[in-house]
Chain A
Amino acid sequence: AQKVTQAQTEISVVEKEDVTLDCVYETRDTTYYLFWYKQPPSGELVFLIRRNSFDEQNEISGRYSWNFQKSTSSFNFTITASQVVDSAVYFCALSEAGKNTGFQKLVFGTGTRLLVSP
């Protein structure tokens, strides 16, 4: 069975600090997708990134970066120079790769609440 573990329940940092959110996954599939979603206090879910299991290159998008390591089954998310607006719950998710790439049966982790104070 697929499983996603986000061991950090809550992290508190001061603005401008760097912070890394951990995500460890379990799957028997050789092909799968990994996702990160952000849920700000307003409650909506915001898609951040999707990676497939064959692409282990790290990705950087502005202050956000992702480190995918198949050897340790981890897909960690780092926010550089955190800002108050980064305060949210962040979810890591895993999806099996079916025949249709648009179909995603997501298994979510329990989320990490990030609090960034001024």
Chain B
Amino acid sequence: NAGVTQTPKFRVLKTGQSMTLLCAQDMNHEYMYWYRQDPGMGLRLIHYSVGEGTTAKGEVPDGYNVSRLKKQNFLLGLESAAPSQTSVYFCASSGGETTYEQYFGPGTRLTVT
């Protein structure tokens, strides 16, 4: 099993450009999450989903949109990138038989210039 995968691994954007980060999980997990990691700040929850077709705001949702059209995929969109969105983005999923662990993807390093 691949677990949680993220595409792309690295990306450089110019201010104002848009992009979509893709997260895919093959564990049939009900719940999925997007976090951002910034130096000295730990991980902060951007958006999450408790099931296919549902999304909800986390701690730092501004400037981001998400969609969960299929259970296995969770997309994070930046409509108009800003330098403040330079960060490492992690996707995670949980649920199913291993309810006690949240599985993380390898991360996407995004730089906005």
Binding site for B on A (CB under 8 A): 4, 9, 33, 35, 37, 43-45, 47, 50, 91, 93, 100-111
> Which residues from B are CB-within-8-Å of A50?
100-101
Q: What distance in Å separates the Cβ of B42 from its nearest Cβ neighbour in chain A?
A: 4
Contact segment of B11-19, B61-69, B70-78, B90-98: B90-98
A-B pairs with beta carbons under 8 Å apart, 29 shown: A4-B42, A35-B102, A43-B107, A44-B104, A44-B107, A45-B43, A47-B102, A47-B103, A100-B31, A100-B95, A102-B29, A102-B31, A102-B94, A102-B95, A102-B96, A103-B30, A103-B50, A103-B94, A103-B95, A104-B31, A104-B94, A105-B48, A105-B58, A106-B45, A107-B45, A107-B59, A108-B42, A108-B44, A110-B40
Interface residues of B (CB under 8 A from A): 29-31, 33, 40-45, 48, 50, 58-59, 88, 90, 92, 94-96, 99-104, 106-107
Question: Which of B40, B43, B100, B107 interacts with A106 by CB under 8 Å?
Answer: B43
Knowing that A45-B43, A103-B31, A106-B43 touch, tell me 15 more A-B residue pairs with CB under 8 angstroms.
A43-B107, A44-B107, A45-B90, A45-B104, A47-B101, A50-B101, A91-B43, A100-B50, A102-B29, A102-B95, A103-B30, A103-B94, A107-B59, A108-B42, A110-B41
Q: Which of B48, B92, B102 counts the most A-chain CB atoms under 10 A from its CB?
A: B102
A-side contacts of B106, CB under 8 Å: 43-44
Which of A9, A35, A43, A45 counts the most chain B CB atoms within 10 A? A45
Contacts of A103 in B (CB 8 A): 30-31, 50, 94-95
Residue on A nearest B50 in the bound complex, by CB? A103
Q: Flag if B41 contacts A106 (CB, 8 Å).
A: no
Give CA–CA (A104, B30) in the complex, Å: 11
Find chain A residues with CB under 8 A from B42 CB: 4, 91, 108-111
